[in-house]
Homo-oligomer: A and B are copies of this chain.
Amino acid sequence: MQTFTDQDIAAMDKLTRVQFATSLPGAKPISLIGTTDLAGQCNLAPFSSVLHLGSSPCLLGMVSRPDLVERHTLANLTEVRAWTINHLHPAILDAAHQCSARYPKDVSEFAATGLSAHFHPGFLAPFVAESRFRIGLELEDIIPIPANGTRLIVGRVVLVQVAEENMLDHGGIDLTGVDCLASTALDTYFQLRPLARLAHAMPGQDPQRI
């Protein structure tokens, strides 16, 4: 094993350090965050920091860095208090990655990449029509992370859209059925290959595959 210390990491050149640091979580989720301002100017941005915060109420979080691309997302969801999470599949990966380009605020990434906006009645933020697994959220909280000036955005899930055939009997969603992707570093994408489902673990019992 090679060991890197914090001094080794600090001594890396900037892009190497970013690729290294963004590899550390392992497999990351990757989705397109859809927002709009109150004038109807839409925005799409890829995020790889969406995480589960709670099931009752159903809460998800994501981290916004204080940079240009993500500021459009943060400004819009602060204004409208709603946003969407749109999971990727291979056919929309290139368009989704292109949404990470630094377009000016008056350019919609929908128009720039050819993805289509889909609106749900009564919900302001745009969904990606081509996504097979979409989530609508309302803003619950924005929590500052003092260590580096990032923010944890907390949302309450109010809409989930997925094909009925991709709902599993136990309540979960069939990620390989929707061909959901994973990511790592800044630029690397994976498909998922099912490995195992394991029964609820109990002390003194051997692990059981379902």
The minimal Cβ–Cβ distance linking A192 to chain B, given in whole angstroms, is 4
Q: A148 and B102 in contact (CB under 8 A), knowing A4-B160, A171-B20, A195-B191?
A: no
Residues of B within 8 A of A197 (CB): 187-189
Q: Are B23 and A51 in contact (CB under 8 A)?
A: no
Q: Are B148 and A59 in contact (CB under 8 A)?
A: yes
Q: Are B193 and A23 in contact (CB under 8 A)?
A: no
Q: Are A185 and B172 in contact (CB under 8 A)?
A: yes
- Which residues from 18 to 74 on chain A have a C-beta closer than 8 Å to any C-beta of chain B? 18-31, 48-61, 63, 65
**A contact set with B: CB distance below 8 Å:** 1-6, 9-10, 12, 14-31, 48-61, 63, 65, 85, 87, 90, 93-95, 97-103, 107, 112, 120, 133-135, 140-141, 143, 145-148, 150, 152, 154, 156-164, 167-168, 170-173, 175-176, 180-182, 184-203, 205-207, 210
Residues of B within 8 A of A191 (CB): 192-193, 195
Q: Are B193 and A193 in contact (CB under 8 A)?
A: yes
The minimal Cβ–Cβ distance linking A177 to chain B, given in whole angstroms, is 11
Q: Are B120 and A198 in contact (CB under 8 A)?
A: no
User: Of the candidates B54, B87, B107, B200, which one forms a contact with A203 in the assembled complex, judged by CB atoms under 8 Å apart?
Assistant: B107
Residues of B within 8 A of A1 (CB): 134, 161-163
Q: A94 and B193 in contact (CB under 8 A), knowing A17-B56, A172-B19?
A: no
Q: Are A194 and B200 in contact (CB under 8 A)?
A: no
A-B contact pairs, 11 of them (CB 8 A): A4-B161, A16-B171, A19-B168, A26-B29, A28-B29, A53-B145, A93-B195, A101-B205, A112-B203, A186-B200, A189-B197
Residues of B within 8 A of A203 (CB): 101-103, 107, 112
Residues of B within 8 A of A140 (CB): 147
Q: Are A28 and B52 in contact (CB under 8 A)?
A: yes
